Amino acid sequence: DRSRYSAGPGREPSGIIEAICIGWFTAECVVRFIVSKNKCEFVKRPLNIIDLLAITPYYISVLMTVFTGENSQLQRAGVTLRVLRMMRIFWVIKLARHFIGLQTLGLTLKRCYREMVMLLVFICVAMAIFSALSQLLEHGLDLETSNKDFASIPAACWWVIISMTTVGYGDMYPITVPGRILGGVCVVSGIVLLALPITFIYHSFVQCYHELKFRSARYSRSLSAEFLN
């Protein structure tokens, strides 16, 4: 780790490829900022903010590597560099600029935020109820044969959420008959609660997809007409 973070991001082949990509992304952002008519509106756009978050960690990591060198702050700087380099995942979100599927997802979440909040409220209420009941049935009634996995309500919340979403990792499970019955009710309730708002989200997703597809086709036709003219 010491040699890795002290050598800098431009010494290895992967670092060279990364530097070229960062240079390309930086030039793209600078050119788009220069040619934009409204600079304030350009800075406020979500996709441009994502571009900035994807580019900035590279330059910060380079500066930190240069200034820390081999001193006692290198280990702490190495942790910071790892965190900053994880922010490169924002590069994937840059695909939303060119991929209609990600644009549809973002527009759907923007329009269905009330349904998303309602879904979270349903899950939180059910989690509070089932976690309290499961902790009581598995740990609170009989302390001698109690299930240690359900020692507290927050610990039982993990079991409730993986049961309601039908994931079921199997790392913790009820061992008493009332607890297993409650587990079945929890799974069925999770399926019903998750299905209620998802119908509205699905219809909104289809509508947003057709809308963006129509916009893209109309924009392509306008560009073709301008090119021919």
Last residue of a domain, one of 53, 70, 98: 98
220 and 109 share a domain? Answer: yes
Integer-rounded Cα radius of gyration of the chain: 26
User: How many angstroms separate the Cα of 58 from the Cα of each of 24, 46, 82, 83, 150?
Assistant: 13, 20, 11, 11, 44
Are 92 and 122 in the same domain?
no
113 and 184, same domain (yes or no): yes
Predicted TM-score (pTM) of this structure: 0.60
Do both 27 and 117 map to the same domain?
A: no
Residues 120 and 34 in one domain: no
Q: Which of 54, 71, 98 is the last residue of a domain?
A: 98
Instruction: Please tell me the distance from the alpha carbon of residue 163 to that of residue 120, in angstroms, as a whole number.
Output: 15
Identify whether the C-beta of residue 55 lies closer than 8 Å to the C-beta of residue 25: yes
- Amino acid letter, 156: A
When divided into structural domains, the chain yields a total of 2
Q: Are residues 18 and 70 in the same domain?
A: yes
Same domain, 184 and 115: yes
Residues 134 and 150 sit within 8 Å (Cβ to Cβ):
yes
Do 91 and 165 sit in the same domain of this protein?
A: no
In a domain, 55, yes or no: yes
CA–CA distance, 192 with 186 (Å, rounded to integer)? 10
pLDDT tens, position by position, for the chain (229 residues)? Answer: 444 444 444 456 777 887 888 888 888 888 988 988 888 888 888 778 877 877 887 787 777 777 765 444 445 555 666 666 666 676 676 666 677 777 888 888 888 888 888 889 989 999 999 999 998 888 877 766 678 888 888 889 999 999 998 888 888 888 888 889 999 999 999 999 888 888 888 888 888 888 888 887 877 777 677 667 6
Examine the domain organization and report whether 67 and 160 are in the same domain.
no
Q: CA 151, CA 131: separation in Å to the nearest integer?
A: 11
Domain interval for residue 93: 13-98
The CATH code of the domain that includes 173 is 1.10.287.70
Residues 56 and 133 in one domain: no
Domain boundary among 34, 66, 98: 98
